[in-house]
Structure 1
Amino acid sequence: MKNDYSHMMLDYFIRRTRALNQERKNILQNIKTKDQAEEYQSNVTQIIKKSFFPVMPEKTPLNPVITGTLKRKGYRIEKLLFESRPECLVSANLYIPENFEPPFPSVVAPCGHSAEGKAEPKYQEFSQRLVHNGFLVLIYDPFNQGERDQYTVLPKNSYLRRSCVVAHNMMGKQLQLIDEFFGSWRVWDGIRALDYVLTRQEADKKFLGVTGNSGGGTLTTWLWAVEPRFTVAAPSCFITPFLYNLENELPQDIEQNPPDILANRIELGDFFISRAPSSLILLGQKYDYFDIRGFNEICKEVEKFYDIFNAKENFEFFIGNNPHGYYSDAQKAMVSFFCKIAGKKHTKHEIEINIEKPETLFATEKGNVIKQGSKPIYIMIGEKVDEIEKNREKLSVHKMKVILKKLFGIPETIEIPHYRVLRPYSLKKKTIARYGIETEKEIWIILKKKVENSEHIFNLEIENEINLCLPDICSEDEILNERKFLKKCAEYFIDVRGMGESMPEEKKNFFRPYGYDFMIDRFYYMFGESYLGKRIFDVLSTIQLIKSKGCKTINLYGNSQGAIIGLFVALFSEEIKNVYLEKLPESFSKLAQVPSTKLPSSNFQKGLLKITDIPEIIKEIKSLMDVHIIR
């Protein structure tokens, strides 16, 4: 029998996030006056904007092109292409009223996670509801949705082309290596969409709305907090605290987890609080997987600020009786609110909805921006990587260690950790000794050893020379394997946090790009910490324990993900004699610019390529010890 550590990482972050939320609630409870509210708003706005745009990108020419027009009863649709970045085409539809006098109150509509993007029936429906009420609506495709599939070089049935969220997570982890956030790229598309709307003479510059559902609700939330030109917002089916998603074991898309946001005690409600008393309606559904309890909590928090500003009329919320989705009831609530804020005397709800086929709405000739000449995102990332590498400082081994330790959060002094003697177990008739090592409060990594004499396992005795092995995902899969290239001595295996016995899901699901390893990695990201750095620390801490037990020589072995961890352990530790790295990636720069890699996001250290890369690290550790690379 073995204790179950599989919930360890989830519970660890639940404790941390609950404590953070309680601190935040205490602060909110003490806000009573307008001056206190404005001071709080100023602080959270500054933090949110820094999270998304430490440096604002340059606004480059939009180069808009109208590629066609559809004339419909009461409105027309212009098929539009514009460049949010140089050679980065965004496909969009512009709905323009025919039976109203301009200027028209204007709405930017980011899409949720639908394969059809702007052509998804519910998104066509809310666009038509708005245009029939006299609103100009620009709805645009996100990356890898609608006409913006970035992976035309891959087979049509490939995972990245079948699932936009998988594609987003791929883009996001690659951008992470150059210290960029995919959510910022998504927000930038929305900002440039607004820039285009403001070039249109028909647009009323005094009413600039934003609305979207699910992933579009995410973008509505982010845009609302980051872009002050928007005057009214209606996010749908996204609104619940980060804590609820964590407790409900709900991984989110990579753009839904902003960097450092929890480290600065910012919760989702702050994105709305930051804009009070500007006009806002929050839209939820009773049976949404974004927890409705959290929706209600956020509504109460936000409502308090509108009360303080004496602007109750500017805030509303709506809860429908449906599951996740932008259903007609929420659309009608949004349209009614927008009409009220725009000063319209009547709202028209009984309209004929005409759902177009996706190809009818295409702005490109062949239904794809890449085939129209747009650069794939991995090419754009690759160009950034090349520029970074060309200008990157060549570091001495000492300076490299100092900078990387700071990046990974590795302390200068590592204490000898406490350990438990756990129950052994039998694996294919071999006795496996187990030791739980507490490298951080309530974080237990598992040290294992195959033993011949089971009578001695209840006292952790370490031999003079050992092989310390870091598996790919689980020591149990590798502990009985023979590695002929290693020295013949005692072998110990480490299951670092989130791997092996503390893996929060079945092994077969570990590499899912939308699984629990990904979710835990995202919470480290939001807390401004490094999952990879914590795993490196687990090994360094274990080495301190091993040395305290009299071990003189440590030969380090790492396989795949274990090889990445082992690479940095070898750089940081002075206790390693030989290092063997099997299936180590050739470089992170290559991983950053290939169309696809299965390596989990927890290995993609934020900003690493601005400092160094694998070949440079290998070169430095070769000057310190014997290094063996096994491909």
Structure 2
Amino acid sequence: MEATFGQAVQDFYLEQLRLNYRERQERLRAVRNAADALAYVRQVREKIRPLFRLPAEKCPLAVETLGELRFDGFRMEKLRYYSRPGFAVTANLYVPDGLSAPAPAVLEQCGHTAEGKAGPIYQQAARGLALAGCVALVIDPIGQGDRRQFLRVPGFEGACWDEHSIIGRQLIPLGDWLGSWMAWDGIRAIDLLLSRPEVDATRIAVTGTSGGGTATTFVGALDDRISMLAPSCYITSWLRNVSNERPTDNEQMPPGALAAGLEIADFLIAQAPRPTLIMGQKNDFFDARGTREAYEDVAHIYDMLGAPGAVELVIGPSHHTLCVNLREALYSFVTRHAGLPEMRQEPADIPVSTPDELCCAETAPRVARELFAEDARRRIALRPSLSADERQTYFRDALRLELPVMAPAYRVLRETRLGGWAFSRFGLETEPERVMALLLRRDRSVFYHLPEEQGDITLYIPHVDAKDEMAAMPDDGPLWGLDLRGVGELTPAGCYQDRPRENFFRSNGFDYNYAALGMMLDRPYLGGKVRDILGALALLGRGGARVRLVARGQGCVPAQLAAMFAECVVACELIDQPESWAEAVLSDLPALPQSAMLFGAIDHADWR
């Protein structure tokens, strides 16, 4: 597989992120006084809330106590509560001994580790906080600890981030995303803390590391009951992540956030001027340069609000972990702002328990995909039957297509040969002045022009690579093929490109990354692929030519959608058709890649 234009997709999205960052910086520079700052805070809050698909009502927590362990200075209760009907969250609650009055409380949210709340660094932080006089609640994220979702699914051997990837893909047709579910788990955890007589409702802190830092940042922006916030090893900028070709986990890329002009720092600004501690690491893949830049953005707003000391920055000397330096910074921050004697140093010999000792799952919890399947079946049953015109209108709007798609400018590229065939190559500028698709002609001779005469044409849309797949196809005369964005010669050269064929389906590979960025920009990656096909059809269909579309595997999805908008297409043959969007939601292990998904489609139509 060649990747001649392997940076095209990356550069396209990087350009979008840079534009978003520049425009946002201009808005921040315009904040010059308290009134401006309050207006900015209000604006980002108004933009953030609609990004989260949170339940309209809260179900009963139905808290269950499943056991208790006692230690020197505190006790630990093993709890289970329900964030949604039938959907359990497992948690450990650390309560200091000898409380004579309600105490400050800290919700701790874990990063990506199989053990979840039983991870040693999370135990150490929670127990250190308990010894400092705080009630500490540590919850298992979805897919971690006692909340693994795919342990009983044959063929699944992945890690927690693989679980997150699968859940994230299943949520896309439902118009939802994993970050909403994790944020809601955290909001319900605050409800649990406030239900406890040991907790002072006016002194509630939230902290977390990595994925837990993400959840902390989101919960802080959504829940006004929080009085302190301390995310760790997450705060940077989306621009830095994209510049560094660093895909992040499914729950860390909110659909619509970039379209709203937001950056990560805005989620901290949304809760200004509550005390906030931003923690990073010198050697973290969450770029510390972005951590400092985010701190400067937040500090600017805090300065204008007259609270310059309420936001703090600590960059640890280590790598991506809640090391002792950051834990001690956390203890100092929480105790100072909670009115407790300041604790600067972690107590020695904090005990660490085994995952079995902390286990809160005496019975098998209900898994998320059961809830997704019920929701999907209900909504499909209510889905209206669309006419051909209504279906076309829905997909035009959902894919963000501007019709008609005109014939794009193209470059005549050097020919290549494979399997006895000559492949003429034409680079299609389906984004302004940027080659995003490559049109190929397989023949015995080389052509340096596109046809203008009438005739019958076959255009092949590949699964992974047009040239490789066309070389193996029968000799039925001239054959055209299209490497659309992200495929074949447009396969991204970075983002885990070591095994490109496998990495179309890798949890955090390039296909996932650019599809997620497309959702963040509200410009679906799938819509771009459809636009690439329509551009090629506009060129090939000149002069009244009739085009037969042939597509294979994942190429079937954009091909089928493009066919409804192109009058020149007289037939559409689909080979090795992938699952429908409904089947992906209902499946235990969906195979459809994220780039073939369309956000919220389940209420309207399916791709086939």
TM-score, length basis structure 2 = 0.96
2:296 matched to 1:300? yes
Measure how far apart 1:99 and its partner are.
Answer: 3.5
Runs of 4+ in structure 1 off by over 4 angstroms are: none
| 1:436-479 C-alpha deviation (Å, 9 max, x unpaired) | 1111111431011112123xx11222661111110101102211
Rounded to whole Å, the distance in 2 between the matches of 1:483 and 1:551 is 26
Q: Secondary structure at the match of 2:391?
A: helix
Aligned equivalent of 2:456? 465
Rounded to whole Å, the distance in 1 between the matches of 2:232 and 2:579 is 43
Aligned equivalent of 1:604? 597
Q: Which runs of 5+ in 1 are unaligned?
A: 366-371, 618-631
The residue type paired with residue 450 of structure 1 is: R
Moved more, 260-269 or 583-592: 583-592
Measure how far apart 1:10 and its partner are.
Answer: 0.7
Q: Secondary structure at the match of 1:13?
A: helix
Query: In the alignment, is the contact (CA less than 8 A) between 2:427 and 2:435 conserved in 1?
Result: no
Distance 1:120 1:553, change over 3 A: same
Aligned equivalent of 1:425? 416
Measure how far apart 1:186 and its partner are.
Answer: 0.7
2:306 matched to 1:313? no
Query: In the alignment, is the contact (CA less than 8 A) between 1:474 and 1:500 conserved in 2?
Result: yes
Aligned equivalent of 1:259? 255
The residue type paired with residue 179 of structure 2 is: G
Q: How many pairs were matched up?
A: 599
Rounded to whole Å, the distance in 1 between the matches of 2:99 and 2:350 is 18
Q: Secondary structure at the match of 2:541?
A: helix
Q: Secondary structure at the match of 1:322?
A: coil
Q: Secondary structure at the match of 1:131?
A: helix
Aligned equivalent of 2:572? 579
| 1:535-584 C-alpha deviation (Å, 9 max, x unpaired) | 01110111111122x35211111101111111111222222111101122
| 1:394-428 C-alpha deviation (Å, 9 max, x unpaired) | 11111111111100011122212111110001112
Measure how far apart 1:586 and its partner are.
Answer: 4.6
2:445 matched to 1:453? yes
Aligned equivalent of 1:88? 87
| 1:356-387 C-alpha deviation (Å, 9 max, x unpaired) | 0110001122xxxxxx2432111110000011
Query: In the alignment, is the contact (CA less than 8 A) between 1:445 and 1:494 conserved in 2?
Result: yes
2:358 matched to 1:353? no
The residue type paired with residue 461 of structure 1 is: P
Rounded to whole Å, the distance in 1 between the matches of 2:315 and 2:555 is 47
2:144 matched to 1:148? no
Q: Equivalent residues in 2 for 1:9-408 (5 A)? A: 9-53=9-53, 56-155=55-154, 158-160=156-158, 163-347=159-343, 349=345, 350-365=347-362, 372-408=363-399
Rounded to whole Å, the distance in 2 between the matches of 1:420 and 1:312 is 55
Aligned equivalent of 1:592? 585
| 1:245-294 C-alpha deviation (Å, 9 max, x unpaired) | 11111110010000111111100111111221111110011111110111
Query: In the alignment, is the contact (CA less than 8 A) between 2:450 and 2:540 conserved in 1?
Result: no
The residue type paired with residue 45 of structure 1 is: R
Q: Secondary structure at the match of 2:146?
A: coil
Rounded to whole Å, the distance in 2 between the matches of 1:3 and 1:58 is 49
The residue type paired with residue 514 of structure 1 is: N
**Aligned with residue 507 of structure 1, among 491, 501, 510:** 501
| 1:27-72 C-alpha deviation (Å, 9 max, x unpaired) | 111111111111111111011111113x643200111100100011
The residue type paired with residue 102 of structure 2 is: P
Alignment RMSD (CA, Å): 1.6
Measure how far apart 1:101 and its partner are.
Answer: 2.6
Distance 1:180 1:3, change over 3 A: closer
Rounded to whole Å, the distance in 2 between the matches of 1:341 and 1:33 is 25
Aligned equivalent of 1:523? 517
Moved more, 60-69 or 590-599: 590-599
Rounded to whole Å, the distance in 2 between the matches of 1:449 and 1:542 is 12
Distance 1:508 1:594, change over 3 A: closer
2:487 matched to 1:490? no
Q: Secondary structure at the match of 1:235?
A: strand
Measure how far apart 1:304 and its partner are.
Answer: 1.2
Query: In the alignment, is the contact (CA less than 8 A) between 1:513 and 1:600 conserved in 2?
Result: no
Measure how far apart 1:354 and its partner are.
Answer: 0.3
| 1:55-96 C-alpha deviation (Å, 9 max, x unpaired) | 643200111100100011100000001111111111110000
Q: Secondary structure at the match of 2:313?
A: strand
Measure how far apart 1:348 and its partner are.
Answer: 6.1
The residue type paired with residue 353 of structure 2 is: E
Distance 1:416 1:402, change over 3 A: same
The residue type paired with residue 32 of structure 1 is: R
The residue type paired with residue 255 of structure 1 is: E
Measure how far apart 1:346 and its partner are.
Answer: 3.5
Distance 1:91 1:2, change over 3 A: closer
| 1:201-251 C-alpha deviation (Å, 9 max, x unpaired) | 111100011000000001011111111111101000001000001111111
Measure how far apart 1:508 and its partner are.
Answer: 3.4
Moved more, 132-141 or 439-448: 439-448
Aligned equivalent of 1:546? 540
Query: In the alignment, is the contact (CA less than 8 A) between 1:518 and 1:600 conserved in 2?
Result: yes
Moved more, 586-595 or 25-34: 586-595
2:553 matched to 1:563? no
Distance 1:547 1:538, change over 3 A: same
Distance 1:584 1:2, change over 3 A: closer
| 1:164-188 C-alpha deviation (Å, 9 max, x unpaired) | 1111011011111010111101101
Distance 1:496 1:480, change over 3 A: same
Measure how far apart 1:489 and its partner are.
Answer: 4.4
Q: Secondary structure at the match of 1:439?
A: coil
Query: In the alignment, is the contact (CA less than 8 A) between 1:96 and 1:135 conserved in 2?
Result: yes
Rounded to whole Å, the distance in 1 between the matches of 2:579 and 2:519 is 25
Rounded to whole Å, the distance in 1 between the matches of 2:43 and 2:503 is 40
